[in-house]
Amino acid sequence: MMDPHRAPVGNIQPGKLSPIRNVPKHIERPEYMFHDGPEVVTASDVKSPEIIEKIREAGTIAADALYTAGDSIKPGVTTDELDRIAHEYMCDHGAYPSCLGYMGFKKSICTSVNEVICHGIPDDRPLEEGDIVNLDVTAYKNGVHGDTNAMFYVGEVDTESKLLCERTYTAMMRGIKAAKQGREINIIGRVIESYAKRFNYGVVEDFTGHGVGEAFHSGLIVPHYDTAPLHNDLIEPGMVFTIEPMLTMGAIAWDQWDDDWTVLTKDHGRSAQWEHTILVKEDGFEILTLPSQGQKSAAMPEL
């Protein structure tokens, strides 16, 4: 019998993939769909008001697709079905699912369950009672990307897993609030790591936040742990980037499946992640990936 207070050790296995989903021809494709290898977009991380408005629109579509799919999360639903829902939402709103075809990724969103840290590929595995799942959704429209992710509970979830999800959200929000003009980018990771260590959580170092906009991933790196004096880019008004900490219940060492994408904790302890795309303003920040209807996940604490 499962302990209602303790998180189980994971044993997730890869499932089967469905065929690649179609995107209507009239929807604009990102440039990396037309060549091999990584994207080649170059653009400043400080955005014009016109580009910011476009990112806000793409970010809202991504968030709405995420929570539309999240509404269907329950035991027995497959991650492939969640991918279908998010895919169709983005296409119906004139956006291209940024993940689809990016560096060979075969699905429209990432679905990372339990001990999967990030980049899980939606497949035919049914979600099970007590699982936690991250949906990572990026939408491309009018030449820009909006990138966000969130945690969800599958049925009744143990106390340790709930606390991990809630505290990871809080860590993200603390990092966002620390992103003030004139500070160095590394302040974000310092704040996140300081909070996470209060609970003895691991802070994943090898996967980071990033600049986003015309590029899915710009050259700007946003670590979630203390890297000072490295990553000392000055934060400026108009900068747009993601903050997306990944916290683990145990060690941060990881393995990767043969699919070259799915990253999971080596000790099979659970992991959680939250992400927003943010805009730095002279008087603070703006989150550009809020859902239009104010939807939220049960895993999101009241702050």
Query: How high is the mean pLDDT of the chain?
Result: 96
Q: In the predicted model, what is the mean pLDDT of residues 91-108?
A: 97
Is 280 in a helix, a strand, or coil? strand
| pLDDT of amino acid 120 | 98
Question: Which pLDDT score, from 0 to 100, does residue 28 have?
Answer: 98
The pLDDT value recorded for residue 4 is: 78
Closest listed residue to residue 224, CA positions, set 201, 211, 243, 240: 243
- State how beta strands 263-265 and 254-256 pair: antiparallel
**With contact defined as beta carbons under 8 Å apart, do 30 and 216 qualify?**
yes
What is the average pLDDT across 221-225? 97
Q: What is the pLDDT of residues 185-210, one digit of tens each?
A: 999 999 999 999 999 999 999 999 99
Q: How far apart are CA 43 and CA 279, in angstroms?
A: 15
Alpha helices (H) along the chain: 49-70, 79-92, 159-178, 186-197
Contacting residues for 192 by C-beta, under 8 A, at least 6 apart? 171, 172, 174, 175, 203, 224, 225, 245
Query: Is-above-0.75 flag for pTM?
Result: yes
Q: DSSP letters along 113-158, please?
A: ETTEEE-PPP-SPBP-TT-EEEEEEEEEETTEEEEEEEEEE-SS--
Residue 42: predicted pLDDT: 87
